[in-house]
Chain A
Amino acid sequence: MTRKPAVTFAIVCVIAVVGLAAYLFHTGSRMRDAREAAPPGPPPNSAVPDPGSATAPAPTPSEAPAPAPTAAATDPVPPNDAPAPHVPATASARLFFRHNGVEAHYGSLAWVDTAKLDEVHYVDSLRCEVVHVSGGHGICLSADRGVFTTYAATLFDAKTLVAGKPFPLKGIPSRARVSIDGRLAALTVFVSGHGYTSLDFSTQTLIVEYATGAVLADLEDFAVTQDGAPLKNPDFNFWGVTFTPDAKNFYATLSTAGKHYLIHGDIAARTATIIHENVECPSLSPDARRVAYKKRLMDGNRVLWQLHVLELATARETPLSEKRSIDDQLEWLDNQNVLYSVPSKDDGSSPSTDVWRVAVNARTPPELFLRGAYSPATARGSPR
């Protein structure tokens, strides 16, 4: 009676072990192939050249910039050193991103000159899940996959690529932004309360000071008002900060009771006002007149995020010509174009993503901008 089940069980086990071994071997060799197939690429030591800088020689790490000066709080108007329209499109600028092609440089920080897109420079010293650079400073959110995966944020200088000391994050990196003056950084992580057993997530969104690395604010602490009346719900979740040019205010998404609001926040006053509905992951244009975002539409039970632009003065929404569902915080390449990442294979079978570009005014179809990239960031502005 006991012999027959034992034999069958042995057969099942053998099949399982052989099947598993074959699959793991296949995976191992697939990854080895991918690593070997890595493009020859530019020399690895590509952190030093400073393209487009005719005036100053590239600074060396030893003369790494002092901590960013504290903000000139007296500056009443948006800084006039904010790039004028058209400038970034013509001048060469650095575009930072997470290299997301599946090969040796997978996951490392990289940059290209927007005039020479095919020449990728890898920064192998920083591996980022999400990256943003602005005002000469950058923030890199990383995952350290040990026995227990931990997450950290690292602030770095965009010119010298000298990184500060990483500080731990409470959850899985999602979004990051740096203000145009390089003074502040914002980040959103997903905190999953019960980790192992459930899929319920919440977010934590923090504003960090570049100079000190100190957390200035947690958006959960902001007093939110809707039509003048205070609003406070247990299910509040904030994500996707975008700073105004003066870095005293910001826009972000507040989610509560199944709605997704665009809020305008005041960092010093710790207040935020709801100004529009159905706006996720806002991104303020360099001229601060428009917000590009993903709008949540439902197709049966599926969420379709469609890219839109909101004109702040008139509250007029315009859909962009991208018709795929995009789950990303957009990045303005200049005042006319936005960038965003799209999975390379739309069945989700590959972690690889590409960056696409679409014009916000014209009806021209979206174009593939950069292959194997994620989290694009146009390095504009300079530290003040």
Chain B
Amino acid sequence: MYRIEWIERLKLSGPKRTPTARLPISPVVYSLGFTSLFTDISSEMVNSLLPAWLVLHLHMSPLQYGVIDGIYSGLSVALLSLLAGYLADRGGRQKEVALFGYALSGLCKLLLLGVAATWGWIALVMGVDRAGKGIRAAPRDALISLNSDPAAYAMAFSVHRAMDACGSLLGPITAFALLTLLPGAYDAVWVTSFFFAVIGVAVLWLFVPPAPVVDVPQVPSAMRIEWSPWKSRRLMALTACGTLLAATTVSDGFLYLLLQQKSATSAGFFPLFYVITAAAYMLLSIPAGRLADRTSRSRVFLGGYAVLVLLYIGLLFVDRISTVELFGCLILFGIYYAATEGILMALVSVVIPPAHRTSGIAIVGTAIGIAKLLSSLAFGALWTGIGVRGAVISFVIVLGVALAISLALMRATDHDS
């Protein structure tokens, strides 16, 4: 079986293993998982209440700003994360850069308190929050992979993602529980959110060691980013696949909208859709990671997208779905997340030398982020042009094609790593 050969080759040629990586999952991964869990509780508490707070509590009409803010911050965060990746790699300072990103977002929760609550200010705070998110993602993922055995990358990432999803489940629940006990006390929510963020940062600060020292291949000039020594065909292929698939995937909101229309549930249940998906993601992430490590990461990854395509095709041709089917669809959507999100990072991490790990992950993440942004703009344009159904059909067709191309690309480069 070539697959076994592949793993064997990987083990032989892969990055030098660190002494702590004897266990399949390093305690560092769990620590990073807890950091993300607490941070996600913190940020989802705020995110889930922010719209209602702006309109009902501060009596603001938030139109227009959000859209502009989304595009601006999307692009600037993309650039920031590239810079953060580069800086983290230069001195092996993944931990410090990640710490900075987490701390920045944590501080934003406090800034929501008491300061002149104008739209410009809130947009700024949210922008800084997202910048923190952009800064921390790549160094954190680099730390996960640098502290793990390459044979268990998918498992390591999926453990982290499962804990992350758990946090994003608990966040809204905590927020709503608080508001039930203290009606209208949004400031109490922000303060609670801040303390969760502090604990997340403390876990990272105290329990995550600096990235293991790697034998740095000499980079000719510190200021010049030298791509060629580590830019492999495989990495190019993976980046292309990730970007292509992200660009052709319809954003979550539209799937929920489609599900809501077909199942005739009230729009008030939207948050419940989100919760079920996140729960499925949380529970299925680790099995998916294990499967990916044991069989083939690329197949599990592409399989996740195949599930999404089938889900969309099914929804397009069915007029009405029962509540049970609705749950089934949301669980399938969770499977898609479990099979793609962390697995791609595992696939990518394998082929980037440790000395460039953060930059490489940042590049892939940025490419995907920009692809998603452009895709939602394209979807919006199509929607106006040919209607929702037409837009979804065209996206599904293109996604199918992208899937086929990705399969070919991954096959062609499977032995490169």
The interface of chain A, by Cβ under 8 A from chain B, is: 5-6, 8-9, 12-13, 16-17, 19-20, 23-24, 27-28, 31, 102, 106, 129, 143, 145-151, 168, 170-174, 190-203, 232-235, 237, 239, 255, 258, 301-303, 327-328, 341, 343, 346-349, 351, 353, 374
Contact = CB atoms under 8 A, between A and B. Distances in A.
Nearest to A353: B59
Contacts of B23: none
B63 A239 contact: yes
Contacts of B176: 145-149
Interface stretch (B66-74, B91-99, B155-163, B227-235): B66-74
Contacts of B195: 16-17, 19-20
A174 B61 contact: yes
A67 to B, nearest CB: 25
A202 B181 CA distance: 30
A57 B187 CA distance: 47
A148 B269 contact: yes
A348 B64 contact: no
19 contacts: A16-B198, A16-B199, A24-B182, A28-B182, A145-B180, A146-B180, A147-B180, A148-B176, A190-B51, A194-B251, A196-B271, A199-B66, A199-B126, A200-B67, A202-B63, A235-B380, A237-B63, A347-B115, A353-B59
A23 B268 CA distance: 31
B188 A199 contact: no
Given A8-B206, A16-B198, A170-B267, A195 B59 contact: no
Nearest to A342: B59
Nearest to B251: A194
Nearest to B74: A198
Nearest to B182: A27
A31 B182 contact: yes
Nearest to A294: B61
B221 interface: no
Interface residues of B, number: 67
B179 A145 contact: yes
B315 interface: no
Contacts, number: 167
Interface in B7-29: none
Nearest to A234: B384
B119 interface: yes
Contacts of A102: 184
B194 to A, nearest CB: 9
B220 interface: no
B225 interface: no
A9 B185 contact: no
A233 B114 CA distance: 38
B123 A196 contact: no
Q: Name which of B57, B191, B270 has the most chain A CB atoms within 10 A of its CB.
A: B270
A173 B203 CA distance: 40
Interface of B: 44, 47-48, 50-52, 55-67, 69-70, 114-120, 123, 126, 172-173, 176, 179-185, 187-188, 191-192, 195, 198-199, 202-203, 206-207, 251-253, 257, 266-272, 274, 380-381, 383-384
Nearest to A145: B179
Nearest to A341: B59
B185 to A, nearest CB: 5
Given A19-B195, A348-B116, A145 B60 contact: no
A195 to B, nearest CB: 6
A195 B271 contact: yes
Contacts of A143: 52, 56
A353 B58 CA distance: 9
Contacts of A5: 206-207
B62 A190 contact: yes
B118 to A, nearest CB: 6
A156 B60 CA distance: 26
A65 B257 CA distance: 39
A19 to B, nearest CB: 6
Contact of A201 (B66, B173, B182): B66
Contacts of B57: 351
A45 B182 CA distance: 27
Nearest to A151: B268
A330 to B, nearest CB: 14
Contact of B66 (A170, A196, A198, A255): A198
A302 B117 CA distance: 12
A353 B57 CA distance: 10
A327 B60 contact: yes
B138 to A, nearest CB: 19
Nearest to A5: B206
Contact of A20 (B191, B206, B269): B191
Contact of B119 (A20, A23, A303): A303
A115 B206 CA distance: 66
A150 B265 CA distance: 13
B59 A12 contact: no
Contacts of A23: 188, 191-192
Nearest to A203: B63
Instruction: Give 3 closest A-B pairs by Cβ, nearest first.
Output: A348-B117, A234-B384, A199-B66
Contacts of A353: 59
Contact of B184 (A24, A106, A190): A106
B70 A200 contact: yes
A328 B59 CA distance: 8
Contacts of B207: 5, 9
Given A28-B182, A194-B253, A234 B63 contact: no
B198 A12 contact: yes
A199 B253 contact: no
Contacts of A19: 195
A194 B116 CA distance: 26
A192 B119 contact: no
Given A9-B202, A303-B119, 18 more contacts: A8-B202, A19-B195, A24-B188, A31-B184, A150-B268, A168-B266, A170-B267, A172-B51, A173-B56, A194-B251, A194-B252, A197-B47, A198-B66, A198-B70, A199-B62, A199-B123, A233-B384, A348-B116
